[in-house]
Structure 1
Amino acid sequence: MKTKRISKGLMVLAAGCAFHAPAMAGGLERGGYNIDLLFDQGRFAAESAVTYVNPQRKLKNVRDVDATDGLGANGIGGGDDSADDSESYWVPRVGVKAGIGDSVDCMFDYSEPWGAHTKPGADWLGANENIETKVESENYAATCSYRFDAGPGQLRLIGGVFYQEVYGFKERLVVPDAATPFGNGVGRLDLEGDGWGWRAGVAYEIPEYAFRASLVYNSEVNLNDITGTLDLSQVNGTSPDVYGSQKMPDVVELKVQSGIAPGWLAFGSVKWTDWSQLEKVRFYCDDPSVTAACLRPGGVTTLDLGYRDGWTISGGVGHKFNEQWSGAVSVTWDRGTSQGFGTQTDTWTFGAGASYTPNQNVEVRLAGAIGILTGGSSSTVTLDGETYGQRVNYEFDDDLVAAISTSVKVRF
């Protein structure tokens, strides 16, 4: 009887506490991929979650290092040598899960896996590099699993597909004010693309010990047909259509959780993301009669990222206080994806969360996190034969990032 009582407590804890506080990962990651709802114990379950993240990245000692594209914020030397680079953002997620028979579970969800928003503005010395950049995404996924007895537990085979849309814009100073009669020389690049991906994985569960280990691969998404416009109306009166292609990264994630004592659960994860695919993304235009820049062999413009692969390692412990309340704490390390250009340095995040279950059908979670964005610098570098950071150099200290996340789950 004692063993059954301990097992039941651990199963409730596994359902209520084995979650990570919101983490701030590198590259263009926002919500990432999450299929935890697929493992919910209920026959039917629906979950809605939202996370608010507030990074505080500040740039200092900014130096405009390229006089050929206009010095300073106005093209003739003006501007501040510091800037607030980051913008806060929201990350929603909605999903439903249904059990089909005794062995099959399927989940349908909406998420926003990728994104970025930097807005140092037009008054800093790096306006020729960036005034505002914003990337957003939408992901629609269907994931199913089949489970069967294997040894003391159950083996689960996982597979699914997802459709993804990625879109955004970038604004920067293109030429000095004094060189153009059309205005302040701000150019804007608007883009959108979409594609399909798939996932496959395996999980092993021993409910008696609240043990679960899962390994899931999410494929790259090939955005073969990115289209948009390059608005140079303030520069030379043109606005050519542009096109390009890019692959969004594939992701491999290993998650493990296990009961370690009555009412206690330990959990951890390791994730690899192929951000090195996003280096210098080139865009082209077909009609040189619109602008002579269409003749450039390297493209009319580029998005310079220069990323390396990302690694994220997280671990924590959860505790069930009573039948209604449980809590968890975690620590996460994310390896920065920048390589001497950009602000994507290592991040350390410390999170805590609570789960309230007033009855067996409803669960409410609240989690928060505070993190350290480690300091560094961005300079002119050459990576794989390509030059990055040739317009502006700057430095940045350790900065803080904070986040809060809430979710509501209903099962029946």
Structure 2
Amino acid sequence: MKYYLSSVTAACLVAGGAHAGALDRTGQPVDVLFEQGRYLEFSLGYLSPDITGENINPRLGPVGAQSGDIGVSNFSYGAAYKADLNNAWSYAVIIDEPFKAEVDYPTNPFYFGSNSSAEFNSTAVTALLQYNFDGGFSVYGGLRAQQTDAKAAIAFAGNYEVEADPDWGIGYVAGVAYERPEIALRVSLTYNSEVEHENDVTEEVNTRAGRRSFESTAEFETPESINLAFQTGIAADTLLFGSVRWVDWSDFDLSPRVYSSPLVAGQPLLSYEDDVITYTVGLGRKLTDTWSIAGSLSYEENTGNLFTNLGPADGQTSIGLAAIYTQGKIKVTTGVRYAWIGDTTTAVQGVPAAEFDDNNALAVGVKIGYYF
């Protein structure tokens, strides 16, 4: 029974966040801890966003000028391994890309953001140790090593370019769970700490004295978060599951020294005004000993705040569908998720610049697991 529950709960997460708050990509799950015995999995996801906007500020160019599709399709990967040391102790190692985003403005001489682009990447390795008490309770925790890098080109800001070299930072994870397999119940609460980074940065920009290059260090933190997840049987072979994820995005601020100065942009390269809470609820159904299916619905509030032109996405509603095939020691999970991205207003130096409305994203993913 526990084997089936872990499969269905993870199913609708295989496609990652077709779109999730800010740079959030995976939701930093720890589901692998609850697999039975010794288990290894690999996952691959593909995200295809469709994001377009139009200029609303006459000072920046013709009102109504179109941005074109700035969304960039990309792949993400993940892997995890879990094993039991004895009846009480278990451990897991998780590799994922927790924060990732990319935008690319196509050429349009009438749109102010034309030929601008940005990319943010991360890779994390998380090592967890779990202790299982009698009575269904368990506690777990560990360390997370995370690498980040970024680059951007802002044509309308003096042909500004920046590249942040890869940097590793260390954070931690702590959590508690309660399980009652006989009624298919599990509740888990997981805290992910912030991870501090100090990336060496090279900035280039056109000045009155010609094109200049500057080197500095960009200090920022990927945000802390809390995941509350649950699942429970509601009928024979039928599971209700859901989660609430809070992420402290209001403290995220990526401000390279030259770009954020009044001489260039006078604002962060990427930042967010509010935290993001993602709500998810779903149903799983075991059809046969081989096949299971699941569906989920997720929601993030539209805040109505102004966003930077490198992150024009304010809230979302998404649906996910998944199928799980189990045969012997092998489990294959496939998922698809479609998101309606909230209408967003972007700003230049605090002044509304563009409207991004009626946008969407599609994600598909596959996860292959093996029980030893």
Give the TM-score normalised by structure 2. Answer: 0.89
Give the conservation status (yes or no) of the 8 Å contact 2:304–2:345.
no
1:310 aligns with 2:266: no
SS, match of residue 18 in structure 1: helix
Match of 1:158 in 2: 140
Shift of 1:12: 4.1
Give the conservation status (yes or no) of the 8 Å contact 1:369–1:403.
yes
Give the conservation status (yes or no) of the 8 Å contact 2:52–2:66.
no
Match of 1:408 in 2: 368
Of all paired residues, the percent bearing the same amino acid is: 25
1:253 aligns with 2:244: no
Give the conservation status (yes or no) of the 8 Å contact 1:362–1:409.
yes
Match of 2:27 in 1: 32
For the residues of structure 1 that align with 2:115 and 2:304, how far apart are their CA atoms?
17
Amino acid at match of 2:83: A
Which structure: larger Rg?
Answer: 1
Match of 1:134 in 2: 119
Shift of 1:64: 5.7
RMSD: 2.7
SS, match of residue 311 in structure 1: strand
1:58 aligns with 2:52: yes
Shift of 1:297: 10
- CA change 1:237–1:396 in 2 (3 A) is closer
For the residues of structure 2 that align with 1:295 and 1:45, how far apart are their CA atoms?
50
- CA change 1:174–1:36 in 2 (3 A) is same
1:363 aligns with 2:331: yes
- CA change 1:234–1:137 in 2 (3 A) is farther
Per-residue Cα deviation, 1:78-125 (whole angstroms, up to 9, x for no partner): 995332121122221111111101111111121100011011134354
For the residues of structure 1 that align with 2:216 and 2:304, how far apart are their CA atoms?
27
- Paired residues in the alignment total 363
For the residues of structure 2 that align with 1:294 and 1:35, how far apart are their CA atoms?
37
1:319 aligns with 2:313: no
For the residues of structure 2 that align with 1:65 and 1:320, how far apart are their CA atoms?
58
- CA change 1:173–1:78 in 2 (3 A) is farther
Per-residue Cα deviation, 1:170-229 (whole angstroms, up to 9, x for no partner): 101256xxxxxxxxx522100133311001010001111111100000000111x22110
Structure 1 unaligned spans of 5+:
1-9, 67-71, 176-184, 286-292, 381-386
Give the TM-score normalised by structure 1. Answer: 0.81
Give the conservation status (yes or no) of the 8 Å contact 1:13–1:319.
no
Per-residue Cα deviation, 1:291-340 (whole angstroms, up to 9, x for no partner): xx999799998414233100000000101111100010110112346612
- CA change 1:124–1:53 in 2 (3 A) is farther
1:348 aligns with 2:308: no
- CA change 1:212–1:79 in 2 (3 A) is closer
For the residues of structure 1 that align with 2:260 and 2:292, how far apart are their CA atoms?
60
Per-residue Cα deviation, 1:30-83 (whole angstroms, up to 9, x for no partner): 123121111101x211000111111111112453635xxxxx5xxxx8995332
For the residues of structure 1 that align with 2:294 and 2:260, how far apart are their CA atoms?
55
1:186 aligns with 2:154: no
For the residues of structure 1 that align with 2:356 and 2:4, how far apart are their CA atoms?
41
SS, match of residue 23 in structure 2: coil
Give the conservation status (yes or no) of the 8 Å contact 2:249–2:272.
no
SS, match of residue 269 in structure 2: strand
Amino acid at match of 1:366: T
- CA change 1:212–1:31 in 2 (3 A) is same
Give the conservation status (yes or no) of the 8 Å contact 2:313–2:343.
no
Q: Among residues 173, 179, 200, which one is paired with 1:199 in the alignment?
A: 173
- CA change 1:87–1:336 in 2 (3 A) is farther
